[in-house]
Each structure stands twice: as C-alpha cells, then as structure tokens.
Amino acid sequence: MKPVLGISACLLGKTVRYDGGHKLDELVFETLERHLRFFAICPETGCGMAVPREPMRLEGNPASPRLITIASRVDETGQMERWTQMYLKELEKENLAGFVFKSNSPSCGLAVGVYDSNGRVAGKTIGLFARGFTLRFPSLPVAEAESLRDVVFRKNFLTRIFHADSAARAAQDGMDTRRA
C-alpha cells in the first residue's frame, strides 16, 4: 500500500484558486503519483470561501499575521484558523506521511510575504494552514512543490515520507497487538 501524501488541491489541477484556476504541477503529479496516494486539501474552499473569490494576503506582524482580502479589506483570519483547528483533528485519521504545499499561498506557503500598512513586504512567515499543520504534525516531512524540482531534495523528501509511513505503520501494528 502506498503512503498517503497531503497536497494542496490546486497542485493536482483542482480549480479551487481565487481566480477559479489551478496550479497543476505535472512534476509533482507525474513523479510522486507512482509512489504515493494523494489526499488533496484546499484550506480556502474547505473553510467555506467561494471560487472565484477576492485575492487575499497576510498582513501585519509576521509572528501573528492576519489574512486580509486585498480590495474589500475583510479579515478572514478567524474563519481560516477555526476551520484549520477543526480539520487538523480530522486529518489525524488519514495517517498522512507528509505534505506538499503551494508556495506563496497565504494559507499553504512555507515562506509567505507579510505586508505592512504601506503595502510593502515586511517579512516572511508560514501560511495559516501550513502553520497549524506543522505544529500539529511536527515530525512529518513538508515541502513546497517548487522545491521538489531539485532532484536531491525530492529524493530526501521521499526517503523521509517512506520513513514516516513505516514508523506510523509500526506504531499502528503495536497498538493493534496491545488490543488483542
């Protein structure tokens, strides 16, 4: 059985982005699908945002940024954080072996620009969903799709995925034998 990899849904060609499009990453899809099963997630649509929707970005303090719509200035932080906390509990059941995030996404990026009140990038932080995920599952390997273009990085990431999956299966087997 193949390990399960969480992945930003837009990277698999799902039309969930703010503009109604996707960001199909053929390298990720074609290379990784031979070794892994995908579990697609779009935090924006998951928390109830429409497609298409107004673009958003992270603003304020990089240590605790706010998710703000660019034109109408609506703060979507609470909606995203509530959904993230609820959904991460559900994800525990999926036995994910790792996650591939969409770069530059205010929800999924691992190094996202945070804007100040003058509209300039004031620093970098991790997207709101990615932050919740990495805090909830600190031992799971994570990457942005673009980093997987590097052959050495991709090989190391896959090694970590299979190691995490093996450890999870061993732990599950141990739990099963204690129940018997």
CB 98 within 8 A of CB 160: yes
Neighbours of 32 (CB within 10 A): 23
Answer yes or no: is 80 within a domain. yes
Q: Tokens for 118, please give them.
A: 């003058």
Per-residue pLDDT at 4 = 95
| Dist CA 114 CA 121 (whole Å) | 5
Q: Could you report the per-residue pLDDT of 11-23, keeping only the tens digit for each?
A: 999 999 999 999 9
pLDDT exceeds cutoff 60 at 177 = no
Task: Give the mean pLDDT of the chain.
Answer: 91
Answer yes or no: is 60 within a domain. no
Answer yes or no: is 41 within a domain. yes
Answer yes or no: is 40 within a domain. yes
- Tell me which of 38-42, 81-85, 162-166, 172-176 is least confident: 172-176
Answer yes or no: is 131 within a domain. yes
Neighbours of 162 (CB within 10 A): 17
Answer yes or no: is 64 within a domain. no
Answer yes or no: is 159 within a domain. yes
Q: What is the DSSP letter of 64?
A: S
| Dist CA 86 CA 66 (whole Å) | 19
As a whole-number percent, the residues of the chain with pLDDT over 70 amount to 93
Q: Could you report the per-residue pLDDT of 27-59, keeping only the tens digit for each?
A: 777 888 888 999 999 999 999 999 999 999 999
Does the pTM surpass 0.85? The reply is yes
As a whole-number percent, the residues of the chain with pLDDT over 90 amount to 81
Name the band, by pLDDT with cuts 50, 70 and 90, for residue 165: confident
Q: How many CA atoms lie within 13 A of 158 on its CB side?
A: 17
* Number of domains present in the structure of the chain: 1
Beta bridge partners of 69: 56
Give residue 47's domain range: 4-53+76-109+126-179
Answer yes or no: is 18 within a domain. yes
| Dist CA 7 CA 11 (whole Å) | 7
Per-residue pLDDT at 175 = 55
